[in-house]
A = this chain, B = another copy of it.
Amino acid sequence: MSITRNEIKILKTLKTTKGRKKENRYIAEGVRLLEESLRFDHLPKMILIDQSQIDDRMENLLSTMQKKSIRIEKISSKDIEAVADTKSPQGIIGIFEKRELKTSELSLRKPRKILWCENISDPGNVGTLLRSALAFDFEMIFVSGSTADIFSPKVVRSAMGAIFKLKIVKDTESEIFKLIKTQNYSLLAADVLGKPIRVTGRKYSTKRIVLAIGSEAIGLTDIIKQKADEKIRIEHEKEIESLNASVAGSILMNEFYKMEKGPK
CB contacts (< 8 Å) of A234 on chain B: these are 254
* Identical chains in the assembly: 2
CB distance from A71 to the nearest CB of B (A): 27
If A235-B261, A263-B198, A264-B198 touch, whether A135 touches B251 (CB-CB below 8 Å) is no
CB distance from A48 to the nearest CB of B (A): 24
- Contact in complex: B251, A254 (CB < 8 Å): yes
Is A132's CB within 8 Å of the partner chain B?
A: yes
If A132-B247, A247-B128 touch, whether A240 touches B198 (CB-CB below 8 Å) is no
CB contacts (< 8 Å) of A237 on chain B: these are 134-137
- Contact in complex: A243, B165 (CB < 8 Å): no
Name the CB-closest residue of B to A236: B135
A residues lining the B interface (CB < 8 Å): 40, 124, 128, 131-132, 134-137, 158, 160-162, 165, 198-199, 234-237, 239-241, 243-244, 246-247, 250-251, 254, 257-258, 261, 263-264
